[in-house]
Amino acid sequence: MPLPVPFLFHFNQHFNEYARVAGRACYRGLLRVLRAHPALKFNIHISGTLIHALSWVDPEPLELIRDGLKAGQFELLGSTYAQNILYASNDWDNARQIELHKAVLFDAFGVEPRTFWNVERCWRQSLVPLMAEAGYNCTLVEDHILSRAGATGPFTFTTRADSHRLLVVTDDETLKHKVNLAAWFGRSGQAFDHLRALAARPDADALCPAYAEDAEAMGLWGWERGVTPNQTWAYLDEFLSALEAEPGLRLIHFSDAPPPGGDLTPIPDGSAAWMDAALTRPDAPYHEDGYANWFDFHARSPKLKHFTQTYDIIRARIQAMPQNTPGAEAFRRAALLTYCAHQYEFGCIGVGGLNDRGWEDARTAVAVARAAQVAEADGEFVIIDDCNGDGSDEVLVSDGTQLQITTAYGGRVLYWFDLRTGQQFLGNQLPVLPGVYTGDGHFPVVEPVNNGRLPEDDAPRHSAERVEEMPPTRMGRFLPLWVWQSESLPVAVAVRETNPGEAVMPLMAQTRAFADYVTLDTQSAEQPPEEWLDSRMEKGGVTFIRYLSDELTLEKTLRFVLGKLVAGYTLRNHDRKERSLRLRVTSELCPDYMDVVRYGRGALQFVNNAAGDAPGVQNTRTQTTLALGSTRSWQALEQRVDFCALTLGLTFDVTLGPRSEQRFELRLKRTPKN
């Protein structure tokens, strides 16, 4: 009987535009190579954050996965939505992460996985009930951890906790490195020697050594280090062709793993070999100084301690959300998604930390929870509260059925909710922008990004441009030194063009609504809405005052009028001479936001009325539309695709006579209005 070998590729990125780069430099090419070998079975894990990011920036990898699933070639694994390490996280959070990921997988692919990818391979026996109660019956554990439990080879085992039981497949660390050597350098001898030795055993059909690796290893890691991804895909393609010709080997889905050869209960606590190795090698990716191993990092890391406390506070706010209002369930789902998305890779070395947007923006879940709380109140109100935990007070304005959360940073509207249904129309809190976190209310400042020249196509192709390198090589930092001992040296590395490409602005997000950019007649530079403005409370609203110069002021009152979100502008010239300015006002719109995240770029479209004077954004799934109206004629209309939102901008050229003022209103109207 052939040796059964599961191959698993683990796809993962944050809710970040870098998913587009990963798609071009890795995912498309890798998936096309796998699909080119339809006789081979592969296992795929893809994180929820990556699914949602790709749905907006590059859905093609998702389509390739769907094709493989329909053909029966791929099998999906479940995990946590944002790849937080279970060992390091609160188990209430873990359960919500697992539930959310299962829901996202079903939404995206229509499947319910039964095998669980244990994030970063850190094991504790108390995870067994957590996985089993979520509907999983199988997981992977690294070989060095299983050997300490008594395993004598890469068999499958059962392990138990309470009344729960899981099938455990051996995650073969040695096989992982040897297959990577084949895919990166075309050196496949070690991988086949390893597999053939196992296949030659009389009990080969009872063995199940699993190759489990980040999908990014098959293109992105090399591309980031100057290697041509097409070369990696070509080597992988050749390796898979050779696998097909091996009669003693059979690639399988985890659902077809052989029956267990015994029970290992308990399996001792263990950490990923790669993290332990990285902490001892200063040149290794994700290295952090000062820790002996991952358990030392877990026990002493200041960032883990800080965010454990932060997450405790946010969790308590979510758990206290009211459950008796009509929109309670929608608010709860939105708060949980926001919270879970910003626990990305929590517990892992080399990621996250203070002022990292990917973790800090978990605080935005508190704003959603606050909206659910005020939904219990009756009537209109205007209150001051730091409702998103960013250290700056916001002003909350409600007409009894709707809520807007405003910030004095630029006098913008951060969020807009329907308190009866839980719908969200403004906010867009999920994308993770490049740059340092300064607070949810702050206007985001981003710089152009140069991601280099991406591959022109997805074809596996040998490169003519190669350089010879001695170990560890630019890729060797991912490999243990022992892999080189039997190899002839140096090795050839396919290098890509060094042309860095052009720096471009990343997709924007979180600019929010009624963001005022001002250009004065004495200035050429446009001034963004970044500064903290004076404000005063009004009946049913709030007014922000922006001092444009010694002579010019801009007052803006934000309120609800007959269900519309209204910004009333008053421009004043205190000078004795005529003054002019240009005012550009943008509004980032995401009607029925949870559906935008769920369905991606196709969920939103620009619309306009027949007269052309009410540009808007429509959710194509729910038909909810936000139309922008103005009592003043504009000189230019801007339509910009942002990250998980569409932005409308109106430009006004204003000339103010001596000691005069001009007033106008911008109005956001939503239809249908529930």
| The three-state (H, E, C) secondary structure of 315-361, written as one string | HHHHHCCCCCCCCHHHHHHHHHHHHHHCCCCCCCCCCCCCCEHHHHH
Mean pLDDT of 228-250: 97
Architecture (CATH level 2) of domain 3-116+172-258: Alpha-Beta Barrel (3.20)
Query: Which residue did the predictor score with more confidence, 521 or 106?
Result: 106
In tens, the pLDDT along 291-338 reads: 999 999 999 999 999 999 999 999 999 999 999 889 999 999 999 999
| Residue 660 burial (C-beta neighbours within 10 Å; 0-12, 13-18, 19+) | middle
Confidence category of residue 452, pLDDT binned at 50, 70, 90: confident
Asked if the model's pLDDT at residue 579 lies above 90, the reply is: yes
Helical residues (DSSP H) of 394-490, grouped into ranges = 473-476
Show Cβ contacts of residue 655 under 8 Å, excluding neighbours closer than 6 positions.
578, 579, 580
User: CATH assignment of 382-443+505-674?
Assistant: 2.70.98.10
Confidence category of residue 608, pLDDT binned at 50, 70, 90: very high
> Rounded to the nearest 5°, which phi and psi values hold at 415?
-140, 150
Domain ranges of the chain: 3-116+172-258, 382-443+505-674
pTM beyond 0.75: the answer is yes
pLDDT given for residue 539 in this prediction? 93
pLDDT given for residue 104 in this prediction? 99
Per residue in 336-360, is it b (16+ CB within 10 Å) or e — as a string?
A: bbbbbbbbbbbbbbebbbeebbbbb
Q: Count of CB atoms within 10 A of residue 301's CB?
A: 21
pLDDT given for residue 377 in this prediction? 83
Q: What is the mean pLDDT of the chain?
A: 96
pLDDT given for residue 453 in this prediction? 82
Count CA atoms closer than 13 A to 448's CA, side-chain side. 6
Asked if the model's pLDDT at residue 658 lies above 70, the reply is: yes
3-state secondary structure of 49: helix
- The pair of structure tokens assigned to 381 is 């109100």
- The pair of structure tokens assigned to 611 is 């007269």
Amino acid identity, position 37: H
Pairing of the two strands 164-171 and 209-214: parallel
Confidence category of residue 376, pLDDT binned at 50, 70, 90: confident
Answer for the pair 359, 343: CB distance below 8 angstroms, yes or no.
yes
- The pair of structure tokens assigned to 127 is 């995870």
Residue found by looking up tokens 């720096």 in the block: 503
Confidence category of residue 499, pLDDT binned at 50, 70, 90: low
